[in-house]
C-alpha cells in the first residue's frame, strides 16, 4: 500500500479536530494538499524516481500522530542545555511539535517577533496570509503531507531596519515514549535592511523509539537583508528526518544556510532557493559525518532569476562503515540574467570500502556572460599523508581523525558566528573520536569545554 495513504485516512477521519485546533490560515492549504497527496507517490528503491532516498520505506512505519495536541511532560529547560559557550542566544524549544520559550527568550530580543502560528495569526494576520505556504511546493509529497497535518508552527519576523541583538536558537526535541511523527513548520520573514542569525538544533531524548520529523521552513529575505540559518542534527539511529527549506531572496539580500549532520538515522535535506533580485548573495553549505548505517541525502536547487547575483555552494561528506550519502544539486540561470556568478562543489571522503556515495551536480544556463562551475569528487584518505604522519609518531587512528577534520574544516569556517564555529570544531573532533554524546546527554556534550 502507498505509505501516504495511512496519513490521508487519518486526516479524513480527524479533519474536524485538526482544523478546530489550528489557525484558519493553516486550514486554507489542506484541501489542495489533500488533492496532491491523492495521486502522489514517494521515491522508493528500485523505482524510476529513486535517487538514493527510499522515502516510501521511511514513511511506511506506523508512527503515532498527535492530532489531539496532548501535552508531553518534560522540564525542557532543566533537561536540555544546548547553549553554545560564549554565545548568548534567545532560546526556544519545540517539544515534539509544540513550541515553548525559555527565560533567555524574554530578554533583549528587541523588536524581533518569535511566536507560535496560533499567536501570529492574531497578531500579524496580513503577514501570515501573504507568506504562509507561498514558497513551499505542494507537488513535493512530503511538503503536502506537512501542510495537510500541521497544526501549529513558529513565526519569526524581523521588521524593516531591525538587527537582532542576539541569535535566535531553536532546540527541537523528540521526547515521546512511543513511535511518533511530527510536522514542524517555520515561517521566517526578514524585512528590508534587517538582519538575523538563527540556530536550529535537532535532538532526541530516547534512543529506543522510532521518530520522524517532517519539517518545512520558509524564509523570505527582503531587500538588503542578511539571514544566517544554521541547521544542526544530532539525534539517534532510530530518528529520521525529512527537511525542506525554501528561500525567497530579494535585491541585495545576503543569505547563508548551513546544514550539519553529526548523528542520525535517515535524513533527507531539500534546499530550494529562488534568487529574485539583483546583487543578491547566496551561501549554501552542508557537512555530513556518517557511520554505522546512517543515511544522509542533500538535494539542492538554486534558481538565478535576476542578473548580477552570486551563489556559492559546497557540500562535504565523510562516510564510514556502511553509511550512505547522496548529493543532487542543480543551479539554474534563467534567460536575461547576465553577470551571474555561481559555484557548486561536492567533495566526499569514504573511509571504508563499504560506504557508498551518490553524487549528481548539474548546471543549466540560458544566458551569456556568466561565470559558473560545478564539480564533485569521491575519494579516500591520502595514503601518503597517512604514511608521513605515522613516520612522525602519530598513531593511525589519530592520523585518520586529523585528516578527516581537515577535510571538513572549510565548511565549518564558513559559519559567521565565531562561538558556534569554535563549538562545531569541538563537536566534530568528538564525533570523529567516537566520544560525541547523543542528546540524552546533551548537557555533557554542550557544556563541557
Alpha-carbon distance 56 to 74, whole Å?
32
For the chain, report the end-to-end CA distance as a whole number of angstroms: 50
Residue with cell 559567521: 416
Cell numbers 558566528: residue: 417
Report which DSSP code applies to 305: -
* Number of domains forming the structure of the chain: 1
pLDDT tens per residue across span 133-154: 999 999 999 999 999 999 999 9
Report, in angstroms and rounded to the nearest whole number, the Rg of the chain calculated over CA atoms. 21
Q: Exposed/middle/buried for 14, CB within 10 Å: 0-12, 13-18, 19+?
A: middle
The per-residue pLDDT string of the chain (449 residues; one tens digit each, 9 = 90 and over) reads 689 999 999 999 999 999 999 999 999 999 999 999 999 988 887 555 555 678 999 999 999 999 998 877 655 554 555 556 667 788 888 889 888 776 555 544 668 999 999 999 999 999 999 999 999 999 999 999 999 999 999 999 999 999 998 899 999 999 888 999 999 999 999 999 999 999 999 999 888 999 999 999 999 999 999 999 999 999 999 999 999 999 999 999 999 999 999 999 999 999 999 999 999 999 999 999 999 999 999 999 999 999 999 999 999 999 999 999 999 999 999 999 999 999 999 999 998 899 999 999 999 999 999 999 999 898 887 777 877 788 888 888 888 888 888 889 988 999 999 888 988 988 898 888 877 754 444 433 343 33
Sheet with 180-190, strands from edge to edge, namely: 113-116, 154-158, 180-190, 211-221, 239-249, 266-275, 295-304, 324-333, 356-365
Residue 84: DSSP 8-state: P
Domain extent at residue 379: 5-447
Amino acid at each position: 500500500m502507498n505509505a501516504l495513504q495511512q496519513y490521508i485516512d487519518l486526516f479524513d477521519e480527524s479533519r474536524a479536530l485538526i482544523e478546530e485546533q489550528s489557525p484558519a490560515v493553516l486550514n486554507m492549504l489542506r484541501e489542495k494538499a489533500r488533492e496532491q497527496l491523492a495521486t502522489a507517490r514517494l521515491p522508493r528503491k528500485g523505482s524510476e524516481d529513486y535517487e538514493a532516498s527510499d522515502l516510501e520505506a521511511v514513511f511506511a512505519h506506523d508512527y503515532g500522530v498527535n492530532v489531539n495536541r496532548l501535552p508531553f511532560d518534560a522540564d525542557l529547560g532543566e533537561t536540555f542545555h544546548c547553549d553554545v559557550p560564549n554565545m548568548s542566544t534567545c532560546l526556544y524549544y519545540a517539544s515534539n511539535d509544540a513550541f515553548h520559550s525559555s527565560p533567555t527568550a524574554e530578554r533583549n530580543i528587541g523588536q524581533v517577533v518569535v511566536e507560535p502560528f496560533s499567536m501570529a495569526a492574531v497578531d500579524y494576520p496580513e503577514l501570515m496570509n501573504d507568506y504562509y505556504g507561498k514558497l513551499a511546493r505542494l507537488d513535493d509529497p512530503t511538503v503536502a503531507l506537512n501542510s495537510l497535518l500541521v497544526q501549529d508552527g513558529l513565526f519569526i519576523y524581523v521588521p524593516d531596519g531591525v538587527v537582532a541583538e542576539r541569535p535566535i536558537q531553536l532546540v527541537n526535541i523528540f521526547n515521546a515514549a512511543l513511535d511518533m511523527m511530527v510536522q514542524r513548520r517555520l515561517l521566517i520573514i526578514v524585512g528590508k535592511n534587517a538582519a538575523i542569525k538563527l540556530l536550529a538544533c535537532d535532538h532526541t531524548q530516547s534512543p529506543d523509539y522510532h521518530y520522524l520529523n517532517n519539517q518545512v521552513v520558509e524564509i523570505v529575505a527582503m531587500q538588503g537583508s542578511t539571514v544566517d540559518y544554521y541547521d544542526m542534527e544530532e539525534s539517534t539511529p532510530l530518528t529520521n528526518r525529512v527537511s525542506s527549506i525554501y528561500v525567497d531572496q530579494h535585491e541585495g539580500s545576503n543569505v547563508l544556510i548551513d546544514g550539519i549532520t553529526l548523528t542520525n538515522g535517515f535524513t533527507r535535506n531539500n534546499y530550494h532557493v529562488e534568487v529574485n533580485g539583483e546583487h543578491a548573495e547566496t551561501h549554501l553549505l552542508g557537512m555530513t559525518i556518517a557511520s554505522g548505517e546512517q543515511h544522509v541525502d542533500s538535494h539542492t536547487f538554486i534558481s538565478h532569476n535576476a542578473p548580477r547575483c552570486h551563489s556559492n555552494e559546497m557540500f562535504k561528506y565523510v562516510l564510514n562503515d556502511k553509511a550512505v550519502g547522496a548529493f543532487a544539486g542543480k543551479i539554474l540561470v534563467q534567460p536575461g540574467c547576465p553577470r551571474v556568478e555561481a559555484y557548486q562543489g561536492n567533495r566526499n571522503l569514504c573511509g571504508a570500502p563499504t560506504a557508498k556515495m551518490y553524487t549528481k551536480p548539474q548546471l543549466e544556463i540560458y544566458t551569456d556572460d556568466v561565470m559558473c562551475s560545478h564539480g564533485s569528487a569521491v575519494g579516500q584518505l591520502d595514503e601518503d599523508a597517512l604514511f608521513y604522519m605515522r613516520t612522525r609518531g602519530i598513531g593511525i587512528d589519530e592520523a585518520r581523525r586529523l585528516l578527516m577534520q581537515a577535510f571538513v574544516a572549510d565548511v565549518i569556517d564558513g559559519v559567521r558566528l565565531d562561538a558556534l564555529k569554535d563549538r562545531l570544531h569541538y563537536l566534530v573532533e568528538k564525533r570523529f573520536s567516537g566520544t560525541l554524546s547523543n542528546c540524552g546527554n546533551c548537557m555533557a556534550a554542550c557544556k563541557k569545554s
